[in-house]
A and B are shown apart, each in its own frame.
Chain A
Amino acid sequence: GAVVSQHPSWVICKSGTSVKIECRSLDFQATTMFWYRQFPKQSLMLMATSNEGSKATYEQGVEKDKFLINHASLTLSTLTVTSAHPEDSSFYICSAREPGRGLNTEAFFGQGTRLTVV
């Protein structure tokens, strides 16, 4: 299957700073990528849909000014957690779907990024 890579795998930052997480599709071009958040022992919750060349679509309750998404190219989407606070500590996961394979295809997930805000 297609490969999606996230960087970094884990990051610790101080409260009030910003952190950028990268999501790359390594062997295919993804016009659409998805960002999820997962708290311990909970399910994945979709935060936003990242669209190459246009604004991201955020889910209800997700602050767009807090979680900045930039889909700069067909292989890269970034999520920036601005002015991070301890409650932003979570596991962030991205996914991408291979275009041209139809809508009913699996999305490929990155390995996730563990963010800890101290």
Chain B
Amino acid sequence: GESVGLHLPTLSVQEGDNSIINCAYSNSASDYFIWYKQESGKGPQFIIDIRSNMDKRQGQRVTVLLNKTVKHLSLQIAATQPGDSAVYFCAERAASGGYNKLIFGAGTRLAVHP
């Protein structure tokens, strides 16, 4: 079946460095992607999204890149801070039954060290 996956299950970075979290998706028909941050014991928190007609989108300290040719998504976090430590999920919108559900990737744990 269709799936969204991640290359790196755990990423450790030094405070102040830039972080890059990667995600591969398999459904070429997916047209909308979201990155979420999940802290321990909490629900996912929206970070940034991108539509398939774009290849880059920037937010505050975060950038999402989309490469449709290789079906790859990445989240770049600039000047990573301890508060960025969390699990990050990519999600793709899969139209199914008209409800456009989100399919989540496996997740990457980001550990920021002082």
Contact = CB atoms under 8 A, between A and B. Distances in A.
B99 A104 contact: no
A44 B44 contact: yes
Contact of A103 (B44, B100, B104): B100
Contacts of B44: 44, 93, 95, 109
A46 B103 contact: yes
A interface majority secondary structure: strand
A112 B104 contact: no
Contact of A34 (B97, B101, B107): B101
Nearest to B105: A43
Interface stretch (B45-53, B60-68, B72-80): B45-53
B102 to A, nearest CB: 6
Interface residues of B, number: 25
A43 B104 contact: yes
Interface residues of A, number: 28
B83 interface: no
A45 to B, nearest CB: 8
Interface of B: 31-32, 34, 36, 41-46, 49, 51, 89, 93, 95, 97, 99-107
Interface of A: 1, 4, 6, 32, 34, 36, 42-46, 49, 51, 57, 91, 93, 95, 103-112, 114
